[in-house]
Structure 1
Amino acid sequence: MKIFASTLLLLAALPGAPALAQTACQPGTYAAPDGDFVVLVVSPAVAAPALRYQFRDGRRGATSEAGAPLACGGAQVTVKGEAWSPIAFRETPARFDSAGTQMNGMLIEPPGNDAKRPLVVMVHGSERTSPIGGLYGYAMAAQGISVFVYDKRGTGGSEGEYTQNFELLAADAAKALDTARGLAAGRHGRVGFFGGSQGGWVAPLAATRTKADFVAVGFGLVASPIEEDREQMVSEVRAAGLGKDAEALVTRLSAATAGLLLSDFHTGYDALDAVRRDMADKPWAAKIEGEYSGAIARMPNDELRRIGRARFDNLELIWDYDAVAALRKLDTPLLWVLAGEDREAPIETTRAALRGLQAAGKPIDTYLFPGTDHGMWEYVDKADGTRDYTRLTDGYLKLLGDWIKGDVRGAYGRAEKLTPR
C-alpha cells in the first residue's frame, strides 16, 4: 500500500473502447429481484456524462464503454433485459469533532428501521480522495448494512492536516463509530469497522479505542511499514529470478534505510554506504524500488541529511508499528482478506502472523483470493512484467457483506479459507 501516494486501486479506471455515452444514466444503486446490485457513481476517472458502474460480482467499468452490461432509462437500469430498481437509501450528513478537529461524514442506511441491521464504519487507506459518494459505501449498503463513510483529516470536507499517524487516525475512526452509533440509534445491531489497505493498520487499533463488535480488513498488513518495504523488495527480486544473494542484499538495504528513518536521518549512513558498495556491480539494483528504500539508496548522503526527512518522513508514519501487538489486545471477531499476489502489500509476514494469532485462540477468519493483486484486483501479466487490471475479483464484496451480517455460507468466487497449521 503506497505510503506517499493514493493507493485506493478500487477507484482506478478500467480501460475500454469508446462508445456513445448513455446520458440517461443516473447515479444510484439499483437492485435486481434476486438481490444482485449495481452501483453507478460520478467518478473523476470517467468523462461526464458517463458514470462508473460496479456490480456485486466485481465487474466494473464506465457506462460509456462499448459492451457495457447495462442500459439506462428513466428510473431504472436494465441488465440482460431485466429491470433493476433504485434503492432508496437514507443519507444523513454528519459533522463530528476528533482531537479538536472538525470531521465530515455521511451515514448511508438501507430502507426501513431494522434494529438488528449491522452498522460499519469504513476506514480509509492512504488516499486523499473522499469516500463520500464513492462505490464502496453503496456496495456495502446494498447488502443490507448501514454504512458510515467520512473524509480523512485534511481531505475532502474534514479539517486538519493530512497525516498517516496511525494513533491519530485510529482516534478519528473511533469518534466516527461513536458518531454513527448515535445517528443510527434504534436502527442498528452490531457495529464495527472495515479497513482497506492502510486501514488494516488503523481499524484494529480503533477497535481498541471504542467498543466494536467486529473488524474486517481487506488487503492490509500485519507488519510494520519497514517490514512492508523489505517484503516489497524481496518480492521484486524473486519476480526477477535473482536468487537468495539478491534477497539478502535488499534485506540489508531495508535495514539500512530503516536506521535512517528511525533516527530522523541523523545516523545510519555507514550501513547504507556499505550496502551501496555491495550493490554497485549489480545491474538490477538501479531498478529496485520497495516502498521507499530504492529512492533513498539513489539519493546522495548530503541530500538525505538536508531533505531526507522532508521527502520521506513528513507524515508522522509509525515506521516500526507493532501490528501484532494491536491484534493481541483484541478479542473482537476479525475478518482478514488477503490478495494472493499482492505486490504493494506482500502477504508472507501477514499470513504467518494471522496464523499465529489464530493458533493462540484469537477469533480470526482469514480468506485468500488467489490470482489477485492489491485492492483485490484480478489481472493479466504483460511481457514487461507489469499488470493489466481487469476486474474486482468475484466473491470479495459478497464475502465482506455476508461476514459483517454473520451469514457466511457457500463459496465466494475462488476464495480459500485459511486455517492455522
Structure 2
Amino acid sequence: MKRLATPFVLLAACLSAPALAQTSCQPGTYAAPDGDFVVLVPLPSIAAPGLRYLFRDGRRGATTDATAPLACSNDGVMIGGATWKPIAFRETPTTFNSVGTKLSGVLIEPPTADPKRPLVVMVHGSERNSPIGGVYGYAMAAQGISVFVYDKRGTGASEGEYTQNFELLAADAVHALDQARSMTPGRAGRAGFFGGSQGGWVAPRAATLTKADFVAVGFGLVASPIEEDREQLVSEVRAAGQGDDAVQLVNRLSSATGKLLLSNFTAGYDELDAVRRDMAGKPWAATIAGEHSGAMLRMSNDELRRVGRARFDNLELIWDYDALAALKKLDAPLLWVLAGEDREAPIETTRGALLGLAKDGKSVDVYLFPDTDHGMFEYRTNADGSRSGTRITDGYLKLLGDWIKGTARGPYGRAEHLTKGVSPR
C-alpha cells in the first residue's frame, strides 16, 4: 500500500519536537471512525517512553521515531489531523491446566456485545517471549474478534518446561480453547485457532483433537522439520547462484543430518563424511546454514557424538512430523497464508500440498503475498544479501480478521488467492 503524503506533511508542521510530543503516548488500541486502527504496546527493544505501533495496513515502528505518522494526546492518537479514540477492551486474565501443567492466559473481548462474535485462540510460533500484551492479539480484537492469548508452557507466566513437541503443544492449545469457551458463555459464536510459523504445525493438529470451527495459519509449513532444513539449504544455494550440482549436495547433507537426528546421533556419520569430502573447497559450503545442517557440517563427528543431542535435539521436536496427515484429518475450514519469498519456511512443498488438498475437496483458502519474507514482512535487501524487515505487508491483518469473521471478499493488498476457482478432482 502506498503511503499518503498528507498525514506526514500535517505532522511535520505540528511536531517541532517529536520526542517530547510522543512522551504522552499510552499503550492501547486506537480506532478511527472508518474502522481503521493502530495498536501501541511497550517492547523491551524500544527505549521508554517509546512504544511499538502497528497499523491495520502493516506499518510499524516506534512512536518516538522522527517519522512516526502519529502524535499522542490525552484524548487519543492524532493521525492525519483526526483523533483516533481508544478501544475499551474487556481483558480477563486466567489460568488453566493442561497435561499436569498450569498455563497463564488472557481473554481479550471487544467492548460491544455480540453473541455471534468469533473466538480465536492464538497458537505460538517457536518464540519464548509472551504473546500477552503483544500487538497481534489486539490487532485481531480491534477487528471485532474475541481473542485468547496464552503463554506457552515454560514461557512467560506459564509453568512447565519449554518444548517444541507438537503433540504436547497441540494438547495445550485444545485446553486453551476449552478455557476460552468456558469464559464466553453466550458471548461467542464460531471458535477456532490461529497459528503463525511453528504454530502452523500445532494449530491444525489441535483442531483434529477437539471441535474447532476454523483454523487459520500464517507462514507455516506443510513439511517436516527435516524437510524444512532441506528446503532452506536449497533456497540458500539457489540465492547464491549455484546450480543443480550444489542442490544435490545439500540434499545429501540434509539426508545425512536427518539420519543423525532420527537415530539419536548413532547413525549417519558415513554419509556426512562423504558429503564433507564432496563439498571440500566449495566456497558456498562455508556459509550455508539451513535449520541445523550447516552447523552439523562444520562440527567434527566426535563433537556430534558427544554433544549433538544436547545442542540440536533437546526440545522434543518431532523431526519427521507428518503435517500433511494432520491436514487430511482436519474437518474445519482452513486458511493458509504464504509469504512468497520466505527464507525461513520456503513455500514450494507447502504450496503444492495445500493446492492438492483443495483439489481433493478440502475446504482450503490459500493466499500468497508476493515479495514478503517470514512473518509476512516486506523487506529491503542489504549489501551482504541479508534482509531487513520494513513492515507487515498491507492486507495481511485484514485478511485474517475478515476470514475468521467469515467475511473475506478481498482484495487484500497484493495478495493472490491461489485456490480461487480451484475445482475438486
What TM bracket, shorter-length normalisation?
over 0.9
Partners of 2:388 and 2:126 lie apart in 1 by: 22
Partners of 1:406 and 1:309 lie apart in 2 by: 45
DSSP-derived class of the 2:85 partner: strand
Give every structure 1 segment of 4 or more consecutive aligned residues whose post-TM-superposition deviation is greater than 6 Å: none
Count of matched residue pairs: 404
DSSP-derived class of the 1:272 partner: helix
Structure 2 equivalent of residue 282 of structure 1? 282
- Deviates further, 375-384 or 54-63: 375-384
Paired residue type of 1:186: G
What is the deviation of 1:19?
A: 5.3
Partners of 2:144 and 2:106 lie apart in 1 by: 17
Paired residue type of 2:117: R
Alignment of 1:241-256 (within 5 A): 241-256=241-256
Contact 2:204 2:326 in 1 (8 A): yes
Percent sequence identity over aligned pairs: 76
Structure 2 equivalent of residue 310 of structure 1? 310
Partners of 2:286 and 2:185 lie apart in 1 by: 56
Partners of 1:410 and 1:217 lie apart in 2 by: 18
> Is 1:121 the counterpart of 2:110 in the alignment?
no
Partners of 2:243 and 2:320 lie apart in 1 by: 27
Unpaired segments ≥5 residues, structure 1 = 1-17
1:229-254 per-residue CA deviation (whole Å, 9 max, x = no partner) reads: 00000000000111000000000000
Alignment of 1:49-88 (within 5 A): 49-88=49-88
Partners of 2:267 and 2:245 lie apart in 1 by: 26
Contact 2:342 2:374 in 1 (8 A): yes
Partners of 1:192 and 1:128 lie apart in 2 by: 23
> Is 1:23 the counterpart of 2:23 in the alignment?
yes
Structure 1 equivalent of residue 10 of structure 2? none
Q: State the Cα RMSD in Å.
A: 1.0
What is the deviation of 1:99?
A: 0.2
What is the deviation of 1:45?
A: 1.5
Paired residue type of 2:89: F
Alignment of 1:5-404 (within 5 A): 20-21=19-20, 22-404=22-404
Paired residue type of 2:301: N
Partners of 1:108 and 1:388 lie apart in 2 by: 31
Contact 2:399 2:410 in 1 (8 A): no
1:9-59 per-residue CA deviation (whole Å, 9 max, x = no partner) reads: xxxxxxxxx951511101000000000000000111210111110000000
What is the deviation of 1:112?
A: 2.2
1:118-169 per-residue CA deviation (whole Å, 9 max, x = no partner) reads: 0000000000000000000000000000000000000000000000000000
DSSP-derived class of the 2:97 partner: strand
DSSP-derived class of the 1:389 partner: strand
Partners of 2:387 and 2:299 lie apart in 1 by: 28
DSSP-derived class of the 1:20 partner: helix
Partners of 1:383 and 1:77 lie apart in 2 by: 37
Partners of 2:388 and 2:215 lie apart in 1 by: 31
Partners of 1:381 and 1:410 lie apart in 2 by: 29
Q: TM-score, normalised by structure 1?
A: 0.95
Partners of 2:42 and 2:99 lie apart in 1 by: 32
DSSP-derived class of the 1:403 partner: helix
What is the deviation of 1:113?
A: 2.2
Partners of 2:409 and 2:262 lie apart in 1 by: 45
DSSP-derived class of the 1:168 partner: helix
Unpaired segments ≥5 residues, structure 2 = 1-16
1:327-347 per-residue CA deviation (whole Å, 9 max, x = no partner) reads: 000121000000000000000
Residues 73, 317 of structure 1: alpha-carbon distance in 2 compared, 3 angstrom cutoff: same
Structure 2 equivalent of residue 13 of structure 1? none
Contact 2:75 2:83 in 1 (8 A): no
Paired residue type of 1:228: E
Paired residue type of 1:39: V
Partners of 1:284 and 1:409 lie apart in 2 by: 45
DSSP-derived class of the 2:291 partner: coil
Partners of 1:75 and 1:198 lie apart in 2 by: 39
DSSP-derived class of the 1:302 partner: helix
Partners of 1:370 and 1:45 lie apart in 2 by: 28
